[in-house]
Amino acid sequence: MASTMGSRRATGTDGDAGTGRTKPHGDPRQPVTDVVSVKDVTFAYGETPAVSDVTLSIEEGDFLGLIGPNGSGKTTLLHLMLGLLAPDSGRVELFGEPVDEFTDGERIGYVSQKATSGGGGMPVTVRESVTMGRFAHAGHSRLDEDDRAAVSEAMETVGISGLADRRIGRLSGGQRQRAYIARALASEADLLALDEPTVGVDAESRDAFYALLDSLNESGITIVLIEHDIGVVTDRADRIACINTELFHHGDVDSFVESDALAEAYGATGQVVHHDH
Amino acid sequence: MAGLRRRIERLGIAATAALSALMVGFVLCYWLQDYPPLGAAYEQYRIAGQWLDYYLGTNVFRHPYMWQSIATGVLIGVVGPLVGTFLVHRQMALIGETLAHTAFAGVAVGFLAAGTLGWNGSPLLAALVVGILGALGVQWLAERTDAYGDVPIAIMLTGSFAVGTLIVSYGRGQTGISIEDYLFGNLAVVTPSGARLMTALSVAVVAGVALTYKQLLFITFDEQAARVARLNVSAYNTLLVVMTAVVVVGAMQVLGVILVAGMLVVPVAAASQLAGGFRETITLSVLAGQAAIAGGFALSIAAGLPSGGSIVVVAIGIYLAAIALSSRSVARLSTH
């Protein structure tokens, strides 16, 4: 098991991490699998619509940036994609299966907003938290050598092997982020879903973190990232979905930059965050 | 240093396991003493008890009923902190308290049934049934309201206690038994059937946690990620709450309804001050639990005090010592 993970990661890592825009979905001869497919999805909290009639798909190897103003339904849309919420209408598929029938939990690595900001008091070591990535594989049976090897390799990949026995709540924001990513890698996830992963992380660690995401994406992992910093998204992602309840734009970065989607989605309030990098 | 610490912890767990096995053995031997080999083993327990009394200068271990209490106490010291570790770190500490009050209503139902219908089962059995129903009720409420929020828990806690007091008051004429023992805990209240129940429940809970440790840990640490990994979160939550009810009913005999949550929470709080990881937290919680039970029993027997209060006071002493030992601030646990 560990060896397949290693070989997958080994392919394509020699590409330029910063500009990796060459993705398999550009090739018309390759049969393209939708990792996530959202069709006409609507969801409301009571009477308040959060996501309205959104259709989009994420293809294998995509690095999709999901952006929109505060309260625009980004997190809700991500939760719908992952099956944490059921849509009021419309259809969501994960790896070609209806989301409520999807059972291969280990194929998705998810880092929630809460996980990144909190996690303070619970005494859990970094190794224990990364090992959780193997739980979906192991079920009720004991973890074996392969599992342990996958955990060690994942910690190695994100550079936190030295922190294995530290309590995760005592790490810096950037280190904790890496631990969560390692959990996803340990589970050999094909899809990495991240909800504002760098809130409270210093600028330097953040750049290193996004470089890590780039290289993981290069190695074939599909990424969907919610990020309030639009500069990061246009720099790092290769596709952008811009929503404010409705979908305002879904396409590659260039077409997004040229479109008016940003202004339309953010409206007159113009609360656009854009840091220079 | 870390290696030594781990070795001491392992030794402590081995000792606890041996002690628990000894206690389970006693309960079984007492139960089945009419079968010759077990009867002989039971005699050995009695002789060992007399020697213990002789060496310690006490008048405790020669009495079989004390062994029932001690056995129950030792098992409480294992399963209470074991289940409590998950509860505390899910911020469900008061679930235990709530289910104890629900179980109290069950005890009242049991007494009433005994007094009016001539039902001759143990009131603990009634408490177990009502406690588990209460646990399922809490879970049902939690899934439909603000997950394990204060308000549904408070409603459940006071509601079931209110029903309990009404039943007790209604049944006062018909039942002769003092409800006070169940409120504050009493070593003498532990019957052989109560100890047997605790033994069976403890084996079930330890097996349940061993089998679902990974899932319970994942859900405790990051429930959303566990959901995404397609763990059946609702089923495991239900299991945890039901196991809590089971532990609470077993522990109620010694600790009393009002203090039973102490054994789920205080040793865990102490362990969380010192532990480096989750497995270590469980280990230290169980060891702290054992220490609290041993100290509490000693205090209770020596000074003739109620067992529940003695155990919880000793547990809190251990908690304070743990704070003093750790360089960490108390705030850490509460800001989690």
Which pLDDT score, from 0 to 100, does residue A16 have? 39
Strand partners, A36: A58, A94
What are the boundaries of each domain within chain B? Answer: 2-31+63-334
Report the distance separating Cα A262 and Cα A72, nearest Å: 12
CA distance A242 to A111: 20
Res A231 pLDDT > 70: yes
CA atoms within 13 A on the CB side of A75: 13
pLDDT mean over B214-223: 92
Q: Is the pLDDT of residue B224 over 80?
A: yes
Q: By C-alpha distance, which of B99, B101, B127 is closest to B113? A: B127
Q: What is the pLDDT of residues B33-92, one digit of tens each?
A: 888 888 888 888 888 888 888 888 888 888 888 888 899 999 999 999 999 999 999 888
Check whether A10 has a pLDDT greater than 70: no
B214 contacts A114? CB cut-off 8 A: no
User: Pick from A112, A121, A183: which is nearest to B335 by CB?
Assistant: A121
| Averaged pLDDT, B187-210 | 90
pLDDT over 50 (residue A96): yes
Q: How many CB atoms lie within 10 A of CB A188?
A: 22
B1 in contact with chain A, both atoms CB, cutoff 8 A: no
Rounded to the nearest angstrom, the gap between the alpha carbon of residue B280 and the centroid of all alpha carbons in its chain is 20
Threshold 0.90, pTM exceeds: no
Reply yes or no on whether the pLDDT at A3 is more than 70.
Answer: no
**What is the spatial distance between Cα B156 and Cα B146, in angstroms, rounded to a whole number?**
14
Nearest C-alpha neighbor of B89 from the set A139, A236, A165, A168? A168
A122/B277 Cβ within 8 A: no
Q: Which helix (H) or strand (E) holds B97?
A: helix B93-112
pLDDT above 70: percentage of residues in chain A: 82
* Chain B residues closer than 8 Å to A135 by CB: 214-215, 218, 229, 231
- If you average pLDDT over residues B18-35, what whole number do you get? 90
Which pLDDT value is given to residue A133? 92
Higher pLDDT residue, A128 or B63?
A128
Structure token pair of residue B189: 């209240």
Give the type of residue at A126: V
CB contact under 8 A, A123 and B278: yes
Q: How many contacts (CB atoms, under 8 Å) link A and B?
A: 99
pLDDT for position A202: 80
CB B134 within 8 A of CB B152: no
Mean pLDDT of A241-251: 87
Residue A273 has a pLDDT of 54
- Asked whether the beta carbons of B129 and B103 are under 8 A apart, the reply is no
Query: What is the pLDDT at residue A6?
Result: 39
- Contact state of B230 with A112 under an 8 Å Cβ cutoff: no
pLDDT-derived band at A2 (thresholds 50, 70, 90) equals very low
A2-13+34-269: what fold?
Answer: Rossmann fold (3.40.50)
Which range has the worst mean pLDDT, A24-38, B107-121, B166-180?
Answer: A24-38
Interface of B with A in 67-106 (CB under 8 A): 89
pLDDT, chain B, mean: 87
Interface of B with A in 277-296 (CB under 8 A): 277-281
Q: Which residue has the higher pLDDT, B2 or A211?
A: A211
Q: What does the pLDDT read at residue A156? A: 92
pLDDT score of A18 more than 50: no
pLDDT: which is higher, A201 or A144 = A144
3-state secondary structure of B110: helix
- Whether pLDDT at A172 is above 70: yes
Q: Which of B224, B230, B280 sits opposite A114 (nearest CB)?
A: B224
Contact A161, A155 (CB under 8 A): yes
Whole-number Å distance between alpha carbons of B94 and A20: 51
3-state secondary structure of A167: strand
Facing B277 at nearest CB: one of A82, A115, A125: A125
pLDDT, position B256 = 86
Q: What is the structure's pLDDT at B246?
A: 93
Q: Per mean pLDDT, which range of A54-68, B37-51, B204-218 is the poorest?
A: B37-51
Q: Which two tokens stand for residue A265?
A: 């989605």
pLDDT in tens, B266-308: 999 999 989 989 999 999 999 999 999 999 999 988 888 888 8
- d(CA A177, CA A161) in angstroms, rounded, equals 14
The pLDDT, as a whole number, for residue B146 is: 62
pLDDT of residue B173: 62
Chain B neighbors of A121, CB-CB under 8 A: 89, 272, 332-336
Statement: residue A9 has pLDDT above 50: no
What is the pLDDT averaged over residues A8-20? Answer: 38
Q: Do B229 and A138 touch (CB under 8 A)?
A: no
Say whether pLDDT at A13 is over 50.
Answer: no
Of the given ranges (A52-61, A143-152, B167-176, B254-263), which has the lowest mean pLDDT?
B167-176
Of the candidates B51, B48, B41, B85, the one whose C-alpha atom is nearest the C-alpha of residue B286 is B85
Q: What is the mean pLDDT of chain A?
A: 81
pLDDT at B330: 43
A126 contacts A171 by C-beta, under 8 angstroms: yes
Q: Which of A228, A218, A220, A225 is nearest to A239 (CA)?
A: A225
Mean pLDDT over A134-141 rounds to 85
Question: What confidence score (pLDDT) does residue A12 get?
Answer: 37
Report how far residue B16's alpha carbon sits from residue B20's, in angstroms, rounded to the nearest whole number: 6
In whole angstroms, what is the distance from residue A120 CA to residue B16 CA? 30
B10 touching A, CB under 8 A? no
The tokens for B126 are 């009634």
Cα separation, B211 vs B271, in Å, equals 23
For B81, B83, B197, the CA distances from B248, given in Å and listed in that order, are 11, 10, 12
Per CATH, the architecture of B2-31+63-334 is what? Orthogonal Bundle (1.10)
Confidence (pLDDT) at B327 = 62
Considering only A50-54, A116-120, A174-178, B193-197, which range has the smallest mean pLDDT? Answer: A116-120
Q: Which residues have a Cβ under 8 Å from the Cβ of A20 and sit 6 or more positions away? A: A214, A217, A218, A238
Chain B closest CA to A142's CA: distance in Å?
A: 9
For residue B191, pLDDT over 70 is answered with: yes
A153-167, A188-202, B139-153: least confident range:
B139-153
> Would you say residue A25 has pLDDT above 50?
no
Furthest-apart CA atoms within chain A: distance in Å: 56
- Provide the pLDDT for residue B242: 93
Could you give the CA distance from residue B183 to residue B17 in angstroms, rounded to a whole number?
29
- Predicted local confidence at residue A105, as pLDDT: 87
Mean per-residue pLDDT for B145-156? 76
Q: Which residues of A touch B (CB under 8 A)?
A: 82-84, 102-106, 108, 110-112, 114-115, 118-125, 127-129, 132, 135-136, 138, 140, 143, 165-167, 169, 183, 187, 193
Distance, in Å, from the CA atom of A176 to the CA atom of B184, rounded to the nearest integer, reads 45
pLDDT above 70 for A22: no
> What's the confidence (pLDDT) of residue B52?
86
If you write DSSP's letter for every residue of B240-259 in order, what string do you get? Answer: HHHHHHHHHHHHHHHH-TTT
C-alpha separations of B104 from B100, B172, B193, B194 in Å: 6, 15, 18, 15
Q: What is the rounded CA–CA span in Å between residue A140 and residue B212?
A: 7
Distance separating alpha carbons of residues A45 and A25, to the nearest angstrom: 35
Distance (Å) of CA A6 to CA A20, A128, A133, B187, B271: 20, 21, 16, 59, 38
Give the span between the Cα atoms of A230 and A275, in whole angstroms.
8
The domain limits of chain A are 2-13+34-269
- Can you list the alpha helix ranges (DSSP code H) found in B222-232? 223-228
Q: Specify which residues A56 forms β-bridges with.
A: A38
Per DSSP, the three-state class of A90 is strand
Instruction: Tell me the mean pLDDT in the region B224-249.
Output: 92
Q: Which of A102, A93, A85, A97 is nearest to A51 (CA)?
A: A85
Map tokens 């103003």 to a residue.
A69
Q: Are strands A239-244 and A246-252 parallel, antiparallel or unpaired?
A: antiparallel
Reply yes or no on whether the pLDDT at A131 is more than 70. yes
Reference B206, options B17, B29, B27; nearest CA is B17
